[in-house]
């Protein structure tokens, strides 16, 4: 079976197909996926196709008391959607007696393979987005796959050198120039080329999602964006302004540097489609205040948009039927919102 052999249909107006990876089968991934892919809100915006194990999904449906047709398909274009059917590209990698809530190299290997197949589907254009259920990094490493997480794994599998993190809520979207490094290191790393590439990735993601002319607000580094040299040592002029000039020359509406203490307020009222944060807490803090319950993590710069839930594998409750599927529903919704639209031109490489 080659699930990536046939591209998805490109009927005008068709909903995007979202490859939904099952994550670690010993965790709550199967239990949040089954109700999420059957939810009316999900089916109103996308066509979710699970990459996972049909047997494990059937076990999850039984635990949840959900009557569903767990239906294996050979490629996404064969999927059908009627509100009771869970379409799954069945890799059949997990034993039927895999314990819930326990670290397993078998589950780690399976989680890797689900992501690999999703990446293959993305590269061929067979899916328009990827939504990932949580994997367990220790299980992934125990299976011999030494990646910090989904982001780095997907970047490797799709041959992408540099990606960006975007946080998305119903009120505001934020893309980060730097993320998980210390503040001093972040300031040292910021330079015009990195700022320019980050904005380009965010711009391309929004254009691909159907916004032809997004307005992008770019934060400064210092208080009041340096206030013409009053604060800091000219970082805005050195590290950000040259990037903005280059972006505007490309026709990208990038504005700034903006004082970060007002940029998010302006975005929340609709002045900006995207805010560019220079470092982790500059972007994460406001987003969590504005909408942590609906926030989704997106990876920008892959051949397709990838979204993820905002929780882990939750081994402590796996197999109990008590997992909350709302984050998965929201991750699927936002994957659909930002996905490459069916029939649209898709670049195979990113800026």
Strands 173-176 and 296-300: unpaired
pLDDT digits (tens, 9 = 90+) for 85-130: 999 999 999 999 999 999 999 999 999 999 999 999 999 999 999 9
- Is residue 110 domain-resident? yes
Burial of 40 (0-12, 13-18, 19+ CB in 10 A): exposed
Strands 129-132 and 17-21: parallel
pLDDT of residue 227: 87
The whole-angstrom separation of Cα 170 and Cα 174 is: 11
pLDDT of residue 316: 97
* The pLDDT of residue 151 is above 90: no
Number of domains the chain is built from:
2
Residues 124 and 260 reside in one and the same domain: no
Partners of residue 276 on adjacent β-strands: 175, 218
* CATH number of domain containing 261: 3.40.718.10
Residues 85 and 155 reside in one and the same domain: yes
pLDDT of residue 294: 59
Q: Where are the alpha helices (DSSP H) in 125-182?
A: 137-142, 150-157
Residue-wise DSSP of 20-62: EE---TTTTHHHHHHHHHHSHHHHTT-EEEEEE-HHHHHHHHH
Partners of residue 339 on adjacent β-strands: none
Helix (H) or strand (E) holding 350, with range, is none
CA atoms within 13 A on the CB side of 193: 2
Residues 152 and 191 reside in one and the same domain: no
Residues 142 and 170 reside in one and the same domain: no
Residue 142 CA, chain-centre distance (Å), reads 24
* Mean pLDDT confidence for 201-212: 90
- Is residue 247 domain-resident? yes
- Is residue 265 domain-resident? yes
Residues 149 and 108 reside in one and the same domain: yes
pLDDT digits (tens, 9 = 90+) for 266-289: 998 999 999 999 999 999 888 878
Parent domain of 271? 164-290
* Mean pLDDT confidence for 151-159: 91
Residues 155 and 233 reside in one and the same domain: no
pLDDT digits (tens, 9 = 90+) for 328-346: 999 999 899 888 777 654 4
The whole-angstrom separation of Cα 250 and Cα 38 is: 42
Residues 74 and 179 reside in one and the same domain: no
The whole-angstrom separation of Cα 199 and Cα 201 is: 5
| Whole-prediction pTM | 0.80
- Highest mean pLDDT, choosing among 161-165, 190-194, 294-298: 190-194
pLDDT digits (tens, 9 = 90+) for 225-257: 888 888 999 999 999 999 999 999 999 999 999
Taking the CB of residue 106, how many other CB atoms lie within 10 A of it? 16
Residues 183 and 130 reside in one and the same domain: no
Residues 194 and 121 reside in one and the same domain: no
pLDDT digits (tens, 9 = 90+) for 13-71: 589 999 999 999 999 999 999 999 999 999 999 999 999 999 999 999 999 999 999 99
* Mean pLDDT confidence for 173-183: 92
Residues 150 and 94 reside in one and the same domain: yes
pLDDT digits (tens, 9 = 90+) for 283-342: 988 887 875 555 688 898 888 889 998 788 999 999 999 999 998 999 999 899 888 777
* The pLDDT of residue 7 is above 80: no
- Is residue 11 domain-resident? no
- Is residue 99 domain-resident? yes
Residues 26 and 93 reside in one and the same domain: yes
Taking the CB of residue 12, how many other CB atoms lie within 10 A of it? 7
pLDDT of residue 1: 35
């Amino acid at each position: 079976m080659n699930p990536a052999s046939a591209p998805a249909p490109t009927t005008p107006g068709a909903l995007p197909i979202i490859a939904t990876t099952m994550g670690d089968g010993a965790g709550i991934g199967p239990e949040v996926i089954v109700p999420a892919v059957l939810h009316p809100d999900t089916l109103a915006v996308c066509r979710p196709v699970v990459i996972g194990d049909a047997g494990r999904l059937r076990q999850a449906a039984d635990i949840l008391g959900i009557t569903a047709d767990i239906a294996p398909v050979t490629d996404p274009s064969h999927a059908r959607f009627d509100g009771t059917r869970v379409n799954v590209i069945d890799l059949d990698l997990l034993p039927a007696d895999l314990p819930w809530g326990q670290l397993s190299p078998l589950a780690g290997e399976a989680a890797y393979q689900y992501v690999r197949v999703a990446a293959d589907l993305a590269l061929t254009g067979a899916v328009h987005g990827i939504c990932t259920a949580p994997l367990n990094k220790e299980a992934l490493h125990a299976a011999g796959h030494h990646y910090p997480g989904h982001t780095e794994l997907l970047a490797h599998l799709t041959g992408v050198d540099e990606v960006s993190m975007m946080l998305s809520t119903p009120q505001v979207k934020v893309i980060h120039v730097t993320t998980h490094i210390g503040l001093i290191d972040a300031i040292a790393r910021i330079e015009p080329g990195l700022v320019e590439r980050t904005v380009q990735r965010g711009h391309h993601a929004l254009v691909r999602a159907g916004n032809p002319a997004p307005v992008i607000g770019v934060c400064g580094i210092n208080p009041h964006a340096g206030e013409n040299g009053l604060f800091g040592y000219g970082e805005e002029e050195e590290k950000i302004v040259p990037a903005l000039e280059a972006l505007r020359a490309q026709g990208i509406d990038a504005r700034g540097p903006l004082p970060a203490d007002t940029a998010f307020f302006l975005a929340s009222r609709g002045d900006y489609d995207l805010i560019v944060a220079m470092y982790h807490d500059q972007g994460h803090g406001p987003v969590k205040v504005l909408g942590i319950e609906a926030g989704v993590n997106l990876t920008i710069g892959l051949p397709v948009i990838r979204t993820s839930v905002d929780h882990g594998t939750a081994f402590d409750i796996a197999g109990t039927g008590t997992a909350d599927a709302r984050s998965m529903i929201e991750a699927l919704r936002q994957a659909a919102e930002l996905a490459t639209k069916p029939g649209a031109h898709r670049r195979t490489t990113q800026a």
